[in-house]
Structure 1
């Protein structure tokens, strides 16, 4: 079993893929390079991190085979978050769990919002709760509070991607963000401090938003429900962002040792089940 000394830092959000894979027919992005597990581990090692969480990228759809193969190469150091069809067989979910999968991603960016009142969703989320998995929710901020209110009654643990994708230019007072902070007070809601460069403003505006948001997030979510992720390899932003730049952004936030310990080790260790390794 891993102990705290074995974990120097957990990157809670990254992707691996190859340009040779069959891509989803409906996609917003097509990679022209490979993001290999070896490359990812190189970045972790260079930055003093030891463990990572691999998230299925949207352009691979529900074909999780590349991600699952990566998990099998380093089962003690990796966990996975998959994208699946709602009617996926229960046995398939359990097989994924044995491979190190700990959650499913609902990537709703650019998609019509689902109707969670449909009976199939209840069965699906019952399986997720039974497995002890979380549901990772990726959508622009304006729709998030509504989606969270719909999903929480299912009893799932919800993880919000990339600060909730606010518009940094509108500041921390924007309605969707304040609603998200209020919803977090009820528990069962986590947030990934990741993708600062995806927040819609200039680099300075994005970083300033993150700087102002962190204390508010700590008050509402608590350090026990915040995790940090690199979002490597920074799809659609590769030309301007690298792993080193993301680390610099994190360091610019001036976190205390307590905050670093919580977001990089204690909280992701619990949320992603590294204590079971």
Structure 2
């Protein structure tokens, strides 16, 4: 049963590691696949976190918008202790700019390639240097890409030396063979020691698939390499999903409080460089 909206659940997550914040004043990217006609500003998200007892949050850069990360950076400036964020920047971005963003609370650079058919060769320039600069600044790559592409992308990213955070269970395919190959690639990357996977946006896939991938990752790597995120405000699913539903789904996928607490510890250490209390 879903948690009643407004009720603070027991054992709330410490970190929502994946949410998007935006306003209608922000320009859409030319290739935006959706165009929300409402605001979900940082204060609205923080109100959702407060309502559900969640202390920290990580903004995931939204590929829908083309505001040069201005709104995200302003949110970080307003809530420096509570929030971190990823950004979307071109591969030519220089080390000074990345360092300034890191100082502002940016923890990673998002590669939103889920809908990209012709993926770049990240072992060549400009990506080779870009990944080196990201790693040198202590940032991670936040990868959003389909499971079919993970066997190619993850070894190349790992070879670059950068830390990797994979969104949305690795966007598992409905095809069992393709999904299995993608999950295998996630497990191999985790074994390399620099990769984490978000159990986020589970509502965007059949529950059986989310449960399958979550169980495989937990069995292979344990909770120390997993993170949880709400994917608020649930773009294209706003009428079907409430924030409380994402918590209910998380508890169904990871039913043991001690395991969820270990996921909290991983998120606090990775994003906030702090131990949980």
Does the aligned pair in 1 maintain the 2:234–2:241 contact within 8 Å? yes
> For residues 35-67 of structure 1, what are the alpha-carbon distances to aligned partners after superposition, in whole Å with 9 as ceiling and x for unaligned?
111111111111111110001100114610000
User: Please, what is the CA RMSD of the aligned residues?
Assistant: 2.0
In structure 2, relative to structure 1, the CA distance for the partners of 1:33 and 1:62 (3 Å cut) is: closer
Moved over 4 A (4+): none
C-alpha contact (below 8 Å) 1:62/1:83 kept by paired residues: no
Pairing partner for 1:38 from 27, 37, 43: 43
Count of aligned pairs between the two proteins: 263
How far has the Cα of 1:122 moved from its partner? 2.1
What CA distance in whole angstroms lies between the structure 2 residues aligned with 1:222 and 1:131? Answer: 28
Q: Which of 69, 77, 85 is the aligned partner of 1:72?
A: 77
**What is the aligned partner in structure 1 of residue 203 from structure 2?**
197
**What pairs with 1:77-156 in structure 2 (closer than 5 Å)?**
77-111=82-116, 112-156=118-162
Query: Is this contact kept in 2: 1:137–1:161, CA < 8 A?
Result: yes
Q: Deviations over 1:124-183 (max 9, x none)?
A: 112111111110110111111210011111101111100001135738973322333233
SS in 2 for 1:239: coil
Structure 2: how far apart are the matches of 1:114 and 1:123?
14
Higher alpha-carbon deviation: 81-90 or 177-186: 177-186
- 1:165/1:198 contact within 8 Å kept: no
Give 5+ residue unaligned stretches, structure 2: 1-11
CA distance in 2, matches of 1:219, 1:43: 31
Residue 101 of structure 1: how far off its partner (Å): 0.2
**Structure 1 position 251 matched with structure 2 position 251:** yes
CA distance in 1, matches of 2:219, 2:152: 21
TM-score between the two structures when normalised by the length of structure 1: 0.89
